[in-house]
Structure 1
Amino acid sequence: MNKIKLTLAIWLIGYMSYAQEVELKLKDAIAYALENKAEAVKSRLDLKNSDYQIQEARAQALPQINAVADVTNNPLLQKMAMPSAFGGGMVSFGKEWQSTVSASLSQELFNQAVFIGLKAAKSTREFYKINIQLTNEQIIEKVATSYYEVYRLKSQIETLDKTIDNTTRIRDVIVNLYQTGLAKKIDVSRIDVSLNNITSNRQQLVNAKVLQENALKYLIGMEIQTLVVFPDDTFKISDAISFTEQFDVEDRTEIKLLDKQNELLTLNKKSIRAQGYPSLSFQANFGYSGLGDEFTWFSKPENGTYWSGFSSIGLKLVVPIFNGSVIKAKTKQAQIEIDKLQIDKQDTLLAMELAIENAQAQIDNSRITLITQKENVHLAKEVLEDIENNYKIGLAPLTDLLDAENAYAEAQNSYTSALLDYKLAEIQLIKSIGGLNQFTY
């Protein structure tokens, strides 16, 4: 029974460990980041908040209704002098208690600032929608870059694993030769030193990979303790992406955001101007006023309390005449902000055109480098095999064998780095033509 319990416990622990592992493909990492990363969540909250801003702006154009109730106690009533014809002397006017209950209604009939504010609130919502898209693109770029960096380290570790296997095999050959008297003790020691160095380098790469994986988890908003595994077929050149597509930089999200920001600044300028326009509103009041020697609420006329109603209906026209040129100065400031934004847009367009040209040149250079490094790997492998065969028959020294093995490992790492450079250049080119969203498919 104890053995059964122990077996079940071990199986349960293994199952839980396996259940916590997550296979993390690039599109899955991006999808997770777009759902959980703080920047993405905050951008969605900004969009949600814009709905409330629209409600706030719309409320200013709707009727405003208020009810007011107040009670005033006058413990010392003011006295006024009576004319001589009425006997002269000082007489108190008013009552000790006074109360008012009223309701007021106001409605804007014409107020340009209110209407422009409503239009600006709607444009703000569109601004946040574009900002969500830009935020997502920035997250995609960061996640893809970090993801490929993990794969670079993973590939380098696999290269060192192959090198360790190959070096171990060569060491076995040297040990056999040493035991038969065909090799020296120093040859065994030197191959042991080389094997230890390679093993140490592998451990450093393993540590670097763990740190990079943790950085990736943070970047996508995932718990650091989550165990992730990476598929083996991700770090390859994709032939499905077209790099010859003609693209209008005006369609880039950054430009759309600047255009929407320009629209908001223009509305702000109009709103400032509207402060100098006449405004017309409708107003109505209705209420009751009570006076008495006692607390007026719930008191009756026989107790000395009297209530009377009042109401008013009217139009209020406000015509600004002179404000010291404040509106003019503010309007000029608003126009300067618009001019500055146009300069930023021109600079951004220039930077985007430069990015497209550089990305295209980088992708072409990376492709050439990839071809060269792939050929170098093939040649280095052939050289290693030839020198190994020569060493076995005594035609090559151990130094040449170790150098050839290091050259082969270096060629493989150079190929891996060239592949990473290609993928990074690919990201920049896709970004420059506004296609980062394809990573979410």
Structure 2
Amino acid sequence: MKNVLTKALLAALALGTWAPVEAQNPAALPAQPAAGPMAMSLSQAVRYAVANKPSLLATRLAEQTAKAKVGETKAQGLPQVSLAANLADNFKLQKSLLDAGAFSGPTLSGTTLTPRDIAAASAGQSVTLSPAYAQAVSLPPQAIAFGLQYAGNTSASFSQMLFDGSYLIGLRAAKVYEELSKKQTQQAEIDVIEQVSKAYYSTLVARARLTLLARNVHRLDTLLYQTNQTFKAGFAEKLDVDRLRVQRNNLAVEQQKALRLTELSVALLKFQMGLPQAQPVQLTDSLGAAVVDAGALRQRLGSANFNTGGGDQSLGGVPTLPPPTPGQTARDNAPVANNTGQPTQAQAAFNYNNRIEFSTLETQQALAGLDLANRQRGAYPRLSLTAAYGFTGSAKSAKDLFAFRGPESVNGLGQLNQNWFGFGNVGLALNVPIFDGFRRKYQVQQARLQQKTLEHGFETLRQSIDLQDAQSRATLVNALDVLDNQKDNLALAADVARVSKIKFQAGVGSNVELITAETDLREAQTNYYAAIYDVLVAKVDRDKATGELYSQSK
């Protein structure tokens, strides 16, 4: 039992859907329609992925394996009963050498009759004759076979653990190991939620950009038609028509590329969900709702500020050093740094236990402590109750062996001819470890070193979480700033393109000015949608860094 527990402990140690707008009730899983596309929101897509992603199904099988290990550990403390039977044909019986002389004494060589014995006998008296012995004959060792050709036995055995110092530790470790497997499953679910969310947003952005490109192509076709008609009327040059046609061809190529990228993003979403590629899907969430939610984030994070270096205005300005006193340098006057690298409000409110990695490491530390206790209790004695009962028999022939004659069986002559004999025993088995060549000592030393390693791992994980928290927050704030900037640029570029078109149609603007304005508009549109995607991805990363991604999915 201890070996099984040790392997389980060492194996263990060697180891949410986010709604885009606001919190909402869990959506039902979308059913695969018999025909047509499958409609799904982001929450439904995540729930489908959590329920059907092949990698998650494999992780849950590992969780069930951990539960089975718990049952295996518990079973070792229950009564153990077994039945055994054996039949053997000893076609060549093994012989053993015996000293036959040990079983023989001096040889009787006759009796001695004296005249006194004769006279006493003649007088009618009893006479006791004394035997005479000769020297014992020396015999060589004799080969003798024990047993008969056919033999069999059957028995039932019982054992019950009465005391084992490591058994109770094993029960506790088994439950902790099961808890660890559940947390590993949760970690896998968080990864799936992150991947599906990003793929869903990528598809929304790609489809929105594709729709916008279609409108741009339609607008440029209209402009090209009007310019061509103007050229035919003699009020425009052929060069103007050719330039617009080049723009239209480039835009059509860009539209085809965007269409393929959209198809690729849909294929990626299906893969992240575990959905067959042949199943068409229809996304029900709108990109506009996601953008509104992204804009509301600024109320929580605050806007970027040069004085704070970040978003939260409550942090105050960046502290400045007082002027150095005479004879003192600025370096001497610098305050001692005591910040951990996180913003002040993060140090006060952030809970490391919100991160599943931290909770998993705590469970691994608990397993390490149980492993140490298990090693130490290996020096305790082990006591078990044992019992056995069975029968054994032998005969010269197989037919005679299966006659199963008991103690009251007799042959035709009235002689006992029993061939099967019963046996039974009950007792206590005590095992007291005395000296194992210091093996346990080094096992305990390894377990303690493992504990210290995990303690250092906690500090490394804290620093990593602090860095991820700071990075995700800065990335999200920057993405929001870029989105605001690109939104303004898009509005300006659209206005410039509108005015340039009016001027060109009125004959007071050049064709080059119009094409440049259209190019700037498409670039602003591309940058705007890229900024939207960056905000959505940064929001997912932020929720994952703070440990809220999984809780929001519930």
TM-score, normalized by length of structure 2? Answer: 0.72
Partner of residue 93, structure 2: 76
Q: What do residues 380-435 of structure 1 show as CA deviations (whole Å, max 9, x unaligned)?
A: 11111111121122222101100001111111111111111111111111111211
Q: For residues 368 and 68 of structure 1, do their structure 2 counterparts lie closer, same or farther at Cα, with a shift above 3 Å needed?
A: same
Matches within 5 A, 1:51-200: 51-74=67-90, 75-76=92-93, 78=95, 80-82=98-100, 83-85=103-105, 90=142, 92-200=145-253
- After TM superposition, give the deviation of residue 17 of structure 1 in Å: 9.7
| 2:286 is equivalent to residue 233 of structure 1 | yes
**DSSP 3-state at the match of 2:379:** coil
Residue identity matched to 2:93: L
Q: For residues 39 and 308 of structure 1, do their structure 2 counterparts lie closer, same or farther at Cα, with a shift above 3 Å needed?
A: same
- Structure 2 Cα separation of the partners of residues 76 and 86 of structure 1: 33
- After TM superposition, give the deviation of residue 186 of structure 1 in Å: 1.4
Kept after mapping to 1: 8 A contact 2:93/2:148: no
| 2:61 is equivalent to residue 45 of structure 1 | yes
Matches within 5 A, 1:337-348: 337-348=450-461
Kept after mapping to 2: 8 A contact 1:77/1:94: no
- Structure 2 Cα separation of the partners of residues 366 and 92 of structure 1: 94
| 2:371 is equivalent to residue 268 of structure 1 | yes
- Structure 2 Cα separation of the partners of residues 56 and 86 of structure 1: 66
- Structure 1 Cα separation of the partners of residues 292 and 455 of structure 2: 39
**DSSP 3-state at the match of 1:322:** coil
Partner of residue 402, structure 2: 297
Q: Unaligned stretches of 5+ in structure 2?
A: 1-31, 108-138, 302-345, 412-416
Matches within 5 A, 1:191-340: 191-231=244-284, 233-234=286-287, 235-238=290-293, 243=300, 246-295=349-398, 296-300=401-405, 301-302=409-410, 304-340=417-453
| 2:494 is equivalent to residue 397 of structure 1 | no
Q: What do residues 242-274 of structure 1 show as CA deviations (whole Å, max 9, x unaligned)?
A: 846943122311111111111122222222333
| 2:443 is equivalent to residue 352 of structure 1 | no
- After TM superposition, give the deviation of residue 27 of structure 1 in Å: 1.1
Structure 1 residue corresponding to 2:521, chosen from 387, 405, 408 = 408
Residue identity matched to 1:368: D
Residue identity matched to 1:24: M
Query: How many positions carry a matched residue from both structures?
Result: 426
CA RMSD of aligned residues (A): 2.4
Partner of residue 119, structure 2: none
Q: For residues 64 and 17 of structure 1, do their structure 2 counterparts lie closer, same or farther at Cα, with a shift above 3 Å needed?
A: closer
- Structure 1 Cα separation of the partners of residues 36 and 70 of structure 2: 44
Kept after mapping to 2: 8 A contact 1:27/1:439: no
**DSSP 3-state at the match of 1:183:** coil
- After TM superposition, give the deviation of residue 141 of structure 1 in Å: 0.6
**DSSP 3-state at the match of 1:20:** coil
Structure 2 residue corresponding to 1:31, chosen from 47, 64, 68 = 47
**DSSP 3-state at the match of 1:338:** helix
Of 264-273 and 409-418, deviating more is 264-273
Q: What do residues 246-305 of structure 1 show as CA deviations (whole Å, max 9, x unaligned)?
A: 431223111111111111222222223332221111111112222333332324354644
- After TM superposition, give the deviation of residue 238 of structure 1 in Å: 1.1
| 2:497 is equivalent to residue 384 of structure 1 | yes
Q: For residues 51 and 210 of structure 1, do their structure 2 counterparts lie closer, same or farther at Cα, with a shift above 3 Å needed?
A: same
Residue identity matched to 1:112: G
Of 416-425 and 302-311, deviating more is 302-311
Residue identity matched to 2:46: I
> Larger Cα Rg: Structure 1 or Structure 2?
2
Kept after mapping to 1: 8 A contact 2:540/2:549: yes
Q: Unaligned stretches of 5+ in structure 1?
A: 1-15
- Structure 1 Cα separation of the partners of residues 274 and 244 of structure 2: 45
Kept after mapping to 2: 8 A contact 1:294/1:305: no
Of 206-215 and 386-395, deviating more is 386-395
Partner of residue 371, structure 1: 484
**DSSP 3-state at the match of 1:395:** coil
Q: For residues 249 and 102 of structure 1, do their structure 2 counterparts lie closer, same or farther at Cα, with a shift above 3 Å needed?
A: same
- Structure 2 Cα separation of the partners of residues 188 and 17 of structure 1: 49
